[in-house]
Amino acid sequence: MRIPIITLTVILASVLIAVALPKLLGQTEMRNRMARIGVSASLTRVIGALEVAGIAGLLLGLLWWPVGVAAAAGLTLLLIGAAVFHVRAKDPVPMAVVPVAFAVAAAALAVLHVLAN
């Protein structure tokens, strides 16, 4: 059961860091993309910080599974929120489906942690 947990953790952390850092650092292109769906620059940075904290939690969860469960659950909620913002902005369906897919993966990771312990 450990290999799926490690694999899913690495995949989620790798994908999320690619979107979290531009938000956290206030990259212009990311600020513009977020503004288009109704997210302010300050909230964009908060979301980036939450994503980075979630990534750290996922990685720490490899050492202490309750942290991994909490991080995966938090990221699941954050990603569902992202999908809601994309739907409200009337983005194309794939733009809303991507965060949902990663939310499902994060939820699956939380379940895997619980089942393994």
Taking only the tens place, the pLDDT of each residue in 89-112 is 999 998 899 999 999 999 999 999
Percent of the chain clearing pLDDT 70 (strictly above): 99
pLDDT at 82 over 80: yes
Q: What is the domain partition of the chain in residue ranges?
A: 2-116
> What is the distance of C-alpha 60 from the center of its chain?
15
pLDDT single digits (tens) 50-66 = 999 999 999 999 999 99
Distance (Å) of CA 79 to CA 33, 86, 116: 16, 11, 24
Write the secondary structure of the chain as one string of H (helix), E (strand) and C (coil): CHHHHHHHHHHHHHHHHHHHHHHHCCCHHHHHHHHHCCCCHHHHHHHHHHHHHHHHHHHHCCCCHHHHHHHHHHHHHHHHHHHHHHHHCCCCHHHHHHHHHHHHHHHHHHHHHHHHC
